[in-house]
């Protein structure tokens, strides 16, 4: 049973389920459904799909995630970011509004879900660490601009060609300024105003539902659809029927980059939200099990005509605030969506697209992270550059290209930083044998004739040349540091966790080179894995066991002619 509950987390919370849990879950599920239904329709429209597809994507995936997920509050469903990725990936292959477009969106759900499931089974959740926070922030902010401005055509009531480039959207909207439908614009502007005002006055109020109901009644009662106001129109009633998605190899190859992006970005958004609320409730979430849950939810949803889903922040916050205590709240949400599909879809006929556009715009513009820019300016301007690269690349080249550029720049900077790591020349502080950076500690004093250095990184092929260059330069300056000829070099190896073959070869060259000039070479504070490599490379004998002490102070004492104890790792061998 313990092993089974590992793969079915619902068994764990199900065994301890109480009446109080049921009360909170019902309240949370109902409240979340009130928010999810209009959002799901709006985000489907953003993806270029019929609004009903958003409701299909809000049904089966919720139930599957509730059974397999480890987060107790995460609300799964359509989200703006993934919707835009769907629009970008599928829109480049087929025309929006066609049956093929819907089929490709479902195919994308299968592919993204399959990738997530395989990553979870292979315990590859760590891969999302390559999406650093600055990269994700820059990507999200740029995508939010693209998402929001893509809704201008519905907000203005004009025909603007689909584009992923902000300047093209703005230019095309300006060219259509004379054709703006005033009533549509008024509905959109009023909807935005109501959404913003209600968020400030009463954050927990179902403002999206209020806008949907109010605008639909206005269009129906005043006959505004006859004056050019775009409406959702006929929405098919009934639950989705199960069918096996069509999988075309050619289309799948072309959709693969988009599917990978959705799988990674969707999981990144979901796990970030899940962890935030897990910390609040002092529980843990399993990243790999979350991948399995999201992947299964997408695969299951594809059988019922949905499109890619993931966990969203705003709905999760509402779910938590409304009292949800277990994933059973998601099952309650799915039940409300099912009832809506069975009995309430005719009520959406007169829903104006401008109101859905307003819901999307107010939701996504909140994703533009100005505070993060200010924070990085103060804390780490290199990360700010990575944010800017991702932001500009996303705006200039597109969604997928932007995130690839951001991840590429982040990995390149990581490589550059690891090849030129922090390097310090150390001096003794007081008589206790403490050694500190000469540049940072005014009390640190060098020892005459002994160069003591520390490199704060693993020693590998990428920074071999860097260490050699630094030691050569410092040796030429030793008289300035220590006031005499060089007698010994001590490398504080306490920060080195790894030593590869290139680094081992470099050490051999250094030891032999210093020995030829009668300069003693020491490695102090060597860790177990590094010591193992030194043994395998036969460097322990070359360096000398007495020159592999536990502490820097021991190395300096030995260099000055004093007896010191051997390194414990050497005694153990």
> 59-93, pLDDT tens digit by residue?
999 999 999 999 988 999 999 889 988 988 898 88
3-state secondary structure 62-78: HHHHHHHCCCCCCEEEC
Domains of the chain (ranges; CATH) run 19-367 (no CATH), 422-572 (3.30.750.24)
Strands (E), 61-217: 75-77
Helix/strand/coil for 40: helix
Distance, CA of 285 to CA of 292 (rounded, Å):
12
- Positive or negative torsion for Cα 438, 441, 446, 451: negative
pLDDT (average), residues 392-405: 80
Q: What is the crossing angle of helices 249-280 and 399-419, to 10°?
A: 60
Given this model, what pLDDT does residue 484 score? 62
Residues 544, 563: Cα–Cα separation, whole Å? 14
Mean confidence (pLDDT) of the chain: 86
Output the pLDDT for position 209: 81
- Residue 436, φ and ψ in degrees, nearest 5: -135, 165
Percentage of the chain exceeding pLDDT 70: 95
What is the sign, positive or negative, of the torsion defined by CA atoms of 159, 164, 165, 166? Answer: positive
- According to DSSP, residue 566 is labeled P
Residue 573 pLDDT greater than 60, yes or no: no
Contact present, 83 and 47 (Cβ < 8 Å): yes
What mean pLDDT comes out for the span 424-438?
A: 87
321 or 218: whose pLDDT is higher? 218
**510-539 pLDDT per residue, tens:** 999 999 989 999 999 899 899 999 999 999
Helix, strand, coil: what percent of the chain each, to 5?
65, 5, 30
The answer to whether 386 touches 138, Cβ cutoff 8 Å, is yes
Report CA Rg, the chain: 30
Q: How many CB atoms lie within 10 A of CB 290?
A: 26
Rounded to 10 degrees, the C-alpha dihedral 167/173/175/179 comes to 180
Per-residue model confidence (pLDDT) at position 3: 59
- What is the predicted pLDDT for the residue at 183? 92
Mean pLDDT of 33-41: 85
Distance separating alpha carbons of residues 572 and 368, to the nearest angstrom: 56
> pLDDT band for position 419 (50/70/90)?
confident
pLDDT at 472 over 50: yes
Is the pLDDT assigned to residue 45 strictly greater than 80? Answer: yes
Which whole-number Å values give the CA distances from 291 to 260, 478, 572, in the listed order? 13, 55, 43
Lowest mean pLDDT among 119-123, 336-340, 463-467: 463-467
Give the largest CA-CA distance in the chain: 99
Average pLDDT over residues 342-352: 89
The CB density around residue 538, as the number of other CB atoms within 10 Å, is 10
Mean pLDDT, residues 11-17 taken together:
82
pLDDT at 337 over 90: yes
The pLDDT of residue 369 is: 76
Answer whether 10's CB lies under 8 Å from 327's CB.
Answer: yes
What band does 482 get if pLDDT is binned at 50, 70 and 90? Answer: very low
Please tell me the predicted confidence (pLDDT) of residue 56: 95
- pTM summary value: 0.72
Q: Is 483 exposed, middle or buried (0-12, 13-18, 19+ CB in 10 A)?
A: exposed
For 111, phi then psi, to 5°, come to -65, -45
Which own/partner pairs from 247-251 qualify as long-range (CB within 8 Å, at least 24 positions apart)?
Answer: 247/107, 247/110, 248/107, 251/93, 251/104, 251/107
CB burial of residue 394 (10 Å; 0-12, 13-18, 19+): buried
pLDDT of residue 4: 65
pLDDT at 350 over 60: yes
Q: Which residue has the tokens 């092993």?
A: 3
pLDDT over 80 at 400, yes or no? no
**Which residue carries 């939810």 as its tokens?**
297
Q: What is the dihedral of CA 561, 567, 572, 573, to 10 degrees?
A: -70
What are the residues facing 499 on neighbouring strands? 459
Over residues 295-313, the mean pLDDT reads: 93
**What average pLDDT does range 143-147 have in this prediction?**
79
Three-state SS for 488?
strand
pLDDT band at 334 (very low <50, low <70, confident <90, very high): very high
CB 539 within 8 A of CB 508: yes
User: Per-residue b/e over 500-520, b at no fewer than 16 CB within 10 Å?
Assistant: eeebbebbeebbeebeeeebb
Q: Over range 48-53, report the average pLDDT.
A: 92
Per residue, the 3-state secondary structure of 286-322, as one string, reads: CHHHHHHHHHHHHHHHHCCCCCCCEEEHHHHHHHHHC
Residue 413: band (very low, low, confident or very high) from pLDDT cuts 50, 70, 90: confident
Q: What is the pLDDT of residue 199?
A: 84
Put the strands of the sheet holding 423-429 in their side by side order. Answer: 434-437, 423-429, 450-455, 488-492, 520-524
- Does residue 481 surpass a pLDDT of 70? no
């Amino acid at each position: 049973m313990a092993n089974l509950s590992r793969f079915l987390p619902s068994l764990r919370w199900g065994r301890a389920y109480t009446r109080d849990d049921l009360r909170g879950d019902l309240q949370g599920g109902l409240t979340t459904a009130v928010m999810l239904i209009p959002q799901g329709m709006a985000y489907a429209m953003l993806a270029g799909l019929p609004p009903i597809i958003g409701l299909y994507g809000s049904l089966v995936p919720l139930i599957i995630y509730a059974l397999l997920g480890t987060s107790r509050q995460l609300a799964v469903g359509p989200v703006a970011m993934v919707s835009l990725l769907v629009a970008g990936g599928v829109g480049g292959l087929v025309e929006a509004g066609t049956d093929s477009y819907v089929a490709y969106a479902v195919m994308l759900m299968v592919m993204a879900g399959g990738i997530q499931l395989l990553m979870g089974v292979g315990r590859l959740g760590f891969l999302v660490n390559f999406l650093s926070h600055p990269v994700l922030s820059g990507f999200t902010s740029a995508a939010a601009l693209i998402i929001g401005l893509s809704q201008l055509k519905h907000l203005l009531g004009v025909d603007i060609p689909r584009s992923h480039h902000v300047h093209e959207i703005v230019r095309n909207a300006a060219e259509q300024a004379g054709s703006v439908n005033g009533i549509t614009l008024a509905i959109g502007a009023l909807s935005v105003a109501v959404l913003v005002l209600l968020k400030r006055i009463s954050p927990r109020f179902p403002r999206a539902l209020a806008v949907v109901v109010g605008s639909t009644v206005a269009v129906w009662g005043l006959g505004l659809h006859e004056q050019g106001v775009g409406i959702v129109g006929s929405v098919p009633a009934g639950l989705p029927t199960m069918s096996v998605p069509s999988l075309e190899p050619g289309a799948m190859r072309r959709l693969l980059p988009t599917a990978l992006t959705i799988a990674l970005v969707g999981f990144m958004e979901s796990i970030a939200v899940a962890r935030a609320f897990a910390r609040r409730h002092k529980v843990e979430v399993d990243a790999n099990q979350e991948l399995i849950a999201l992947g299964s939810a997408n695969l299951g949803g594809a059988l019922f005509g949905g499109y890619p889903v993931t966990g969203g922040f705003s709905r999760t916050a509402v779910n938590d605030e409304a009292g949800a205590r277990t994933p059973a709240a998601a099952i309650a949400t799915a039940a409300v969506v099912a009832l809506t599909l069975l009995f309430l879809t005719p009520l959406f006929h007169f829903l104006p697209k401008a109101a859905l556009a307003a819901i999307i715009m107010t939701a996504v513009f909140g994703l533009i992270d100005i505070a993060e820019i200010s924070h990085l300016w103060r804390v780490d301007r290199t990360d700010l550059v990575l944010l800017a690269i991702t932001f500009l690349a996303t705006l200039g080249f597109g969604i997928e290209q932007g995130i690839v550029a951001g991840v590429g720049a982040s990995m390149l900077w990581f490589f550059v930083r690891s090849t030129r790591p922090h390097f310090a020349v150390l001096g003794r502080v007081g008589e206790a044998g403490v050694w500190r950076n000469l540049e940072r500690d005014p009390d640190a004093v060098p020892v005459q004739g002994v160069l003591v250095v520390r490199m704060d990184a693993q020693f590998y092929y990428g920074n071999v040349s860097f260490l050699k260059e630094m030691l050569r330069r410092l040796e030429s300056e030793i008289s300035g540091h220590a006031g005499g000829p060089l007698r010994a070099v001590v490398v504080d190896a306490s920060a080195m966790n790894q030593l590869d073959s290139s680094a081992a070869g470099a050490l051999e060259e250094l030891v032999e080179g210093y020995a030829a000039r009668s300069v003693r070479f020491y490695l102090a504070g060597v860790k177990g894995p590094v010591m193992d490599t030194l043994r395998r490379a036969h460097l322990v004998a070359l360096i000398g066991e007495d020159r592999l002490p536990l502490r820097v102070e021991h190395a300096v004492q030995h260099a000055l002619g004093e007896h010191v104890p051997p390194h414990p790792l050497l005694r153990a061998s």
